[in-house]
Amino acid sequence: MFTGIITDVGTIAELEQQGDLRARIRTAYDTATIDLGASIASDGVCLTVIALGEDWYDVQISAETVSKTNLDSWAVGKRVNLERALKVGDELGGHIVSGHVDGVAEVVEMKDEGDSTRVTLRAPEALARFIAPKGSVALNGTSLTVNDVDGRDFGINFIPHTKEVTTWGDVKTGDRINLEIDTLARYVARLQEAG
């Protein structure tokens, strides 16, 4: 489990197709404190550490994961949002995030509002009903509050701090973004269907 609070921005150092996709991610994390088999959310996707070095770790990404996320657009040099898994006693500063991406949203509009940037995204039709004003979503692993919803489109405001400590300062119109809907929204919808 994760919180959607990004704790490092890593860089893709190597990519190799070996049946599955293998990626090497450079990080500021102290890799001596990372165990083989640990889960690290990378752009919101829970990935398993399979090798470690002084300032990097490797993950193996299945074809299924690549097909359901934006990881097919990863390239050497790309910056990615990172978060290590929660430990008992950690602060829950965002919302409960599983690292299981539900789909890919598209950035359809960006405009500055004061010092913040208003980003409008378009959700896949099957997921749009789970997104509500003032609800939570995880976008590329970042816990965010939805400002407004209009059909499949929803708006998020990014303050300067978020743009500086995540990859949101790099985002542009047309980008594909990993979307994880709020777990509670999913269960509420399921209960309504059953009732």
Q: For residue 96, is it within any domain?
A: no
34 and 111 within one domain: no
Q: Which residues contact 164 (CB under 8 A, 6 or more apart)?
A: none
CATH of the domain at 17: 2.40.30.20
User: pLDDT tens-digit profile of 69-89?
Assistant: 999 999 999 999 999 998 777
Q: Which of 56, 84, 112 is the last residue of a domain?
A: 84
Per-residue pLDDT of the chain (195 residues; tens, 9 = 90+): 899 999 999 999 999 998 899 999 999 999 999 999 999 999 999 999 999 999 999 999 999 999 999 999 999 999 999 999 987 777 777 788 889 999 999 999 999 999 999 999 999 999 999 999 999 999 999 999 999 999 999 999 999 999 999 999 999 999 999 999 987 777 777 677 776
77 and 113 within one domain: no
Q: For residue 135, is it within any domain?
A: yes
Domains: count for the chain: 2
Q: For residue 93, is it within any domain?
A: no
181 and 108 within one domain: yes
63 and 20 within one domain: yes
Q: Which of 84, 113, 129 is the last residue of a domain?
A: 84
Q: Residue 195 has what pLDDT?
A: 65
65 and 132 within one domain: no
Match 């599983």 to its residue by tokens.
Answer: 98
Q: For residue 132, is it within any domain?
A: yes
136 and 73 within one domain: no
Show the domain range for 64: 8-84
Q: Which of 53, 84, 115 is the last residue of a domain?
A: 84
